[in-house]
A and B are shown apart, each in its own frame.
Chain A
Amino acid sequence: GESVGLHLPTLSVQEGDNSIINCAYSNSASDYFIWYKQESGKGPQFIIDIRSNMDKRQGQRVTVLLNKTVKHLSLQIAATQPGDSAVYFCAGREGSARQLTFGSGTQLTVLP
């Protein structure tokens, strides 16, 4: 089966700095990954996704990098803002599986 985890449970960054949130997965057959943002008291919100045939994908202020060799992906947030404070989850799909497996999340705190 798939196992998806995150490297650090918490991360603090200064406002305006760049944030990097890491995620590792176990199954080399995993072919699709998503990053979600979950603010306190709310459900997860889609940020960006990436398929295994890509190494990098960019969105607005966010970039996801996928390293299939070491089974690692990261979410980079440029110019981190107070509104970015939330828990960030990566989720992955193994091959033909119908469901996503979520990691345990990283709490990002943006310091003034």
Chain B
Amino acid sequence: EAGVAQSPRYKIIEKRQSVAFWCNPISGHATLYWYQQILGQGPKLLIQFQNNGVVDDSQLPKDRFSAERLKGVDSTLKIQPAKLEDSAVYLCASSLDQRGLPTDTQYFGPGTRLTVL
């Protein structure tokens, strides 16, 4: 079974530029998550989708971050404009159950490492 795919793996941009990350979850997984992991810290949930609807985006900085999951499969996360403090690894995860409960096993992708200069 193929895992969660993410691209690009690495991205370096200047502050105030825009950037987009792509995630392809495990086939058939209804719930998709985007996390931000700052160096030395644990992942922090940014947004959770159930199929193509947003379940939780309470920690998403909506003035600069946006995410969508068209057709309930792939997802993109965008930052516009980027700030220095956005430097982090952005992880995508998916889980099978459409309820998207914390007790559902989440499968993580390898992440995209973003450096903002």
Chain A residues in the interface with B (C-beta under 8 A): 4, 9, 32, 41-46, 49, 89, 91, 93, 97-100, 102-105
> DSSP class of B's interface residues: helix, strand, loop or mixed?
loop
* Binary contact readout B26-66 vs A (1 if CB under 8 angstroms, 0 otherwise): 00000000000000111111001000000110000000000
Residues of B within 8 A of A93 (CB): 102-103
**Minimal Cβ-Cβ distance residue in A for B42:** A102
Could you tell me the distance in whole angstroms from the C-beta of A102 to the nearest C-beta in chain B?
Answer: 3
Residues of A within 8 A of B102 (CB): 32, 93, 97-100
Query: Considering the chains assembled together, what is the distance between the CA atoms of A44 and B105 in angstroms?
Result: 11
Q: List 29 A-B contacts (CB under 8 A).
A: A4-B42, A32-B102, A42-B110, A42-B111, A43-B4, A43-B93, A43-B108, A43-B109, A43-B110, A43-B111, A45-B108, A46-B107, A49-B103, A91-B42, A93-B103, A97-B102, A98-B48, A98-B100, A98-B101, A99-B45, A99-B56, A99-B102, A100-B102, A102-B41, A102-B43, A102-B44, A103-B42, A104-B42, A105-B41
**Minimal Cβ-Cβ distance residue in A for B108:** A43
Q: Are B42 and A89 in contact (CB under 8 A)?
A: yes
Residues of A within 8 A of B105 (CB): 46
Chain B residues in the interface with A (C-beta under 8 A): 4, 40-45, 48, 55-56, 91, 93, 100-103, 105-111
Query: Considering the chains assembled together, what is the distance between the CA atoms of A42 and B102 in angstroms?
Result: 21
Could you tell me the distance in whole angstroms from the C-beta of B1 to the nearest C-beta in chain A?
Answer: 14
4 interchain residue pairs of minimum CB distance: A43-B108, A102-B42, A93-B102, A99-B45
Q: Are A41 and B42 in contact (CB under 8 A)?
A: no
Q: Are B55 and A46 in contact (CB under 8 A)?
A: no
Could you tell me the distance in whole angstroms from the C-beta of B7 to the nearest C-beta in chain A?
Answer: 14
**Minimal Cβ-Cβ distance residue in B for A34:** B102
Query: Considering the chains assembled together, what is the distance between the CA atoms of A93 and B104 in angstroms?
Result: 12
**Minimal Cβ-Cβ distance residue in B for A49:** B103
Contact of B91 among A44, A99, A100, A103 (CB under 8 A): A44
A104 and B41 in contact (CB under 8 A), knowing A46-B105, A98-B102?
Answer: yes
